[in-house]
Chain A
Amino acid sequence: MKNKLFEKYFVFSPYFWLVLFFFIPLAIIFKISISVSEWGMPPYQDIFLFDNGFKINTTFENYVYIFSDYYYIGSFVNSLILALISTFFCLLIGFPLAFYIATSNIRLRNILLVLVVIPFWSSFLLRVYAWKIILQNNGILNVILLNLGITSEPLQLLYNQYAVIMGIVYTYLPLMILPLYGYLNKFDLNLIEASKDLGLNRIKTFFKVILPLSVPGIVAGSLLVFIPVVGEFIIPEMLGGSDRLYYGKILWEEFFVNRNWPGASALAFSGIIILVLPIVIFQILYSRWSQKNEI
């Protein structure tokens, strides 16, 4: 009886964690987002006032403010586009890699898996900084290009949206490869041979057999890359320029530079809702679809 109770709490402990560190902070953010701004510390008024009897002191002006200025919505759209492009490139590079790893012999497979994970052993910040050194005007890449005579003057490789995409694809690639590998690992290679035997060449076999059976891995990897990239702050901050503003950076500035806590909270909360709702709906539809198709 005692053990049963322990098991129950043990199994549900991740949910306590989730409540403690996700739902409660989320509620706090929501609370701040509907409070009235004030010059002070903290820079917002309480939502419950007891001075002259009980009074609820809330406002939706922060939301109105955000949604009426394209500066905020535009940065969010930029981030969504960035996340889409990055996810696409991660998939494009990650899928063949994951497939190759999953189908190679066990010794090579373990070596390749370690190579995929190795970047995690050094600091994320250092790795992004290393790209800065590679891409800067007198950086390694420009020196090589100049010496090879490919360009006559240094190229502006850093501080633009392409550097951001490159940095994100580089950083998030393992998050695409690992779930894909986990799924492709179980792939029955006889299915590929069977498809070829039944007359389909390599390309048709890929689209008729390999791709449909890899959908769950692709979905898992894509979500793992897409969701955090939308809120990514450090990479656009370090590698990006002023050509494009991203959601993460706007959020940071609103909070720490403008000290507009209610506005920043409204922005954060809207972002979560806009992002989470479609994903939840997608997950429900997808799990129904995969149950129906037994994938």
Chain B
Amino acid sequence: MDNNFLVIENISKSFGDNKVLENINLNISKSEFFGLLGSSGSGKTTLLRILGGFEKPDTGRVILDGTDITNLEPFERPLNYMFQSYALFPHLNVFNNLAFGIKENFTQKEIEINVRNIAKLLSIEHLLNRRIKQLSGGEQQRVALGRCLIKKPKLLLLDEPLAALDKKLRSKTQLELTTLQKKLKITFVFVTHDQEEAMSLSDRMAIMKNGLILECSSPEEIYENPKSLYTANFIGIANIIEIYKKDENFYSDDLDINFKLNKELKNTKTNILLRPEKIKIQSINNLKTSSFNSFSGEILEKSYLGSFTRYEIKIKNMIISVLDQNFNSSSNYNFPKGEKVICSWESESIKVLED
């Protein structure tokens, strides 16, 4: 796969004294669905706006399909940008919004055909004569998408594509968006602050913080093997335990237990990550406590989530989150509050966080 389709090279950007982006480097492949995930102020939207041509970077280059587009105006770039607010033209109906970008170079007949085709693709054929104000949020999102796709861009940039939709519509649209992207094989780069959205849409994603890219990998890799403490906390629920070397094993003061690691460490002190669903809980009556990778604790808080139950378990000076799949169908399967339980896990489930 050509992973030099979109090359972002040493991009930096400041607004006054505020450094928004610092030396960003990214390579994105053709037909990839790429996510930029970060909290507000991480610089993700600025990066997307630089790709769209609405901001000029202080340093660095953007190369799309072999062409340096860094200094091109937005209207000269072979890409399109879908705004978070959709930015549909209120003085035009749906048909003319869709046709807006192709009116220049096409005949009336070609415009008609193109608009019909894109409307069919997005199932908005019945809306063509409507005005923008008469559309629901989901319909507006489709028109905004169609207005971009009709131009057959090499690259589509999406700013928080699902943020303006309600929760139920969001998961439906998520699926549609991935299906559409796989079908059209257009490279999508999108920005989001929602980690679930990033995970479910992206082929690969970059985690941004304070103008830096912390990690860039597949969602699975980022969830299972995060490199930094920030990423571990940002994606999903994380139990972070500080450990240090004591004799042959690693020891946690907070938990007063020994950890057995299957990996040598550079530092004598570090953080480890244990995802809550990797922890198995059993009744204290079933098993004896062993000194490695298991501990006994007391259930402090529990919340029933349907397919899972989330427990907050107190052990020594620490509270650990555990997600327990509700495997049995009987309703009294869950452990009650205050119950003493034993938690255990595979030693492979422990991930060492390097920074």
CB within 8 Å of B: which residues of A? 188, 190-191, 193-201, 208-209, 212-213, 293-295
Main secondary structure of the interface of B (DSSP, over half): loop
Query: Number of B residues contacting the other chain (C-beta, 8 Å)?
Result: 25
Whether A294 and B75, one on each chain, are in contact in the complex, defined by CB atoms closer than 8 angstroms, is no
Q: When chains A and B are docked, how far (Å) is the Cα of A212 from the Cα of B96? A: 14
Interface residues of B in 64-99 (CB under 8 A from A): 73-75, 77, 80-81, 83, 85, 87-91
**A-B pairs with beta carbons under 8 Å apart, 7 shown:** A193-B52, A195-B100, A197-B52, A197-B148, A198-B148, A198-B151, A294-B131
* Residues in chain A near residue B74, CB distance under 8 A: 193, 196-197
In the complex, B147 has a CB within 8 A of chain A: yes
Whether A197 and B81, one on each chain, are in contact in the complex, defined by CB atoms closer than 8 angstroms, is yes
Whether A193 and B73, one on each chain, are in contact in the complex, defined by CB atoms closer than 8 angstroms, is no
Q: When chains A and B are docked, how far (Å) is the Cα of A293 from the Cα of B73? A: 31
Q: For the complex formed, measure the closest distance between the CB of B101 and the CB atoms of chain A, giving whole angstroms.
A: 3
Q: When chains A and B are docked, how far (Å) is the Cα of A198 from the Cα of B104? A: 10
Whether B104 and A295, one on each chain, are in contact in the complex, defined by CB atoms closer than 8 angstroms, is no
In the complex, B337 has a CB within 8 A of chain A: no
Q: When chains A and B are docked, how far (Å) is the Cα of A213 from the Cα of B90? A: 8
- Residue of B87, B88, B90, B131 near A193 (CB, 8 A) is B87
- Determine the residue in chain A with the shortest Cβ distance to B100: A198
Q: For the complex formed, measure the closest distance between the CB of B75 and the CB atoms of chain A, giving whole angstroms.
A: 5
In the complex, B308 has a CB within 8 A of chain A: no
* Residues in chain A near residue B133, CB distance under 8 A: 294
- Determine the residue in chain B with the shortest Cβ distance to A205: B75
Whether A293 and B91, one on each chain, are in contact in the complex, defined by CB atoms closer than 8 angstroms, is yes
Whether A201 and B73, one on each chain, are in contact in the complex, defined by CB atoms closer than 8 angstroms, is yes
Whether A199 and B104, one on each chain, are in contact in the complex, defined by CB atoms closer than 8 angstroms, is yes
Q: When chains A and B are docked, how far (Å) is the Cα of A294 from the Cα of B80? A: 27
Whether A200 and B85, one on each chain, are in contact in the complex, defined by CB atoms closer than 8 angstroms, is no
* Residues in chain A near residue B54, CB distance under 8 A: 193
* Residues in chain B near residue A201, CB distance under 8 A: 73, 75
Beyond the given A190-B87, A195-B100, could you list 17 further A-B residue pairs with CB under 8 A, ordered by the A residue number?
A190-B83, A190-B85, A191-B87, A193-B52, A194-B83, A196-B74, A197-B53, A197-B74, A197-B148, A199-B75, A199-B101, A200-B104, A201-B73, A201-B75, A213-B89, A294-B131, A295-B91
Whether A193 and B83, one on each chain, are in contact in the complex, defined by CB atoms closer than 8 angstroms, is yes
Q: When chains A and B are docked, how far (Å) is the Cα of A83 from the Cα of B329? A: 83
Q: For the complex formed, measure the closest distance between the CB of B139 and the CB atoms of chain A, giving whole angstroms.
A: 16
- Determine the residue in chain A with the shortest Cβ distance to B52: A197
Q: When chains A and B are docked, how far (Å) is the Cα of A199 from the Cα of B101? A: 6
Q: When chains A and B are docked, how far (Å) is the Cα of A212 from the Cα of B89? A: 10
- Residue of A188, A200, A208, A209 near B75 (CB, 8 A) is A200
Q: For the complex formed, measure the closest distance between the CB of B118 and the CB atoms of chain A, giving whole angstroms.
A: 13
- Determine the residue in chain B with the shortest Cβ distance to A295: B91
- Determine the residue in chain B with the shortest Cβ distance to A290: B91
- Determine the residue in chain A with the shortest Cβ distance to B74: A196
Whether B87 and A188, one on each chain, are in contact in the complex, defined by CB atoms closer than 8 angstroms, is yes
- Residue of B53, B89, B101, B147 near A209 (CB, 8 A) is B89
Q: For the complex formed, measure the closest distance between the CB of A192 and the CB atoms of chain B, giving whole angstroms.
A: 9
Whether A294 and B104, one on each chain, are in contact in the complex, defined by CB atoms closer than 8 angstroms, is no
Whether B81 and A188, one on each chain, are in contact in the complex, defined by CB atoms closer than 8 angstroms, is no
Whether A196 and B90, one on each chain, are in contact in the complex, defined by CB atoms closer than 8 angstroms, is no
Q: When chains A and B are docked, how far (Å) is the Cα of A190 from the Cα of B84? A: 9
Which of B53, B77, B91 has the most CB atoms of chain A within a 10 A radius of its CB?
B91
* Residues in chain A near residue B52, CB distance under 8 A: 193, 197
Q: When A193-B54, A193-B74, A294-B133 are in contact, do A198 and B80 touch as well, CB less than 8 Å?
A: yes
B291-315: contact bitstring with A at CB < 8 Å (1 yes, 0 no)? Answer: 0000000000000000000000000
Q: For the complex formed, measure the closest distance between the CB of A105 and the CB atoms of chain B, giving whole angstroms.
A: 12
* Residues in chain B near residue A293, CB distance under 8 A: 91
Q: For the complex formed, measure the closest distance between the CB of B249 and the CB atoms of chain A, giving whole angstroms.
A: 57
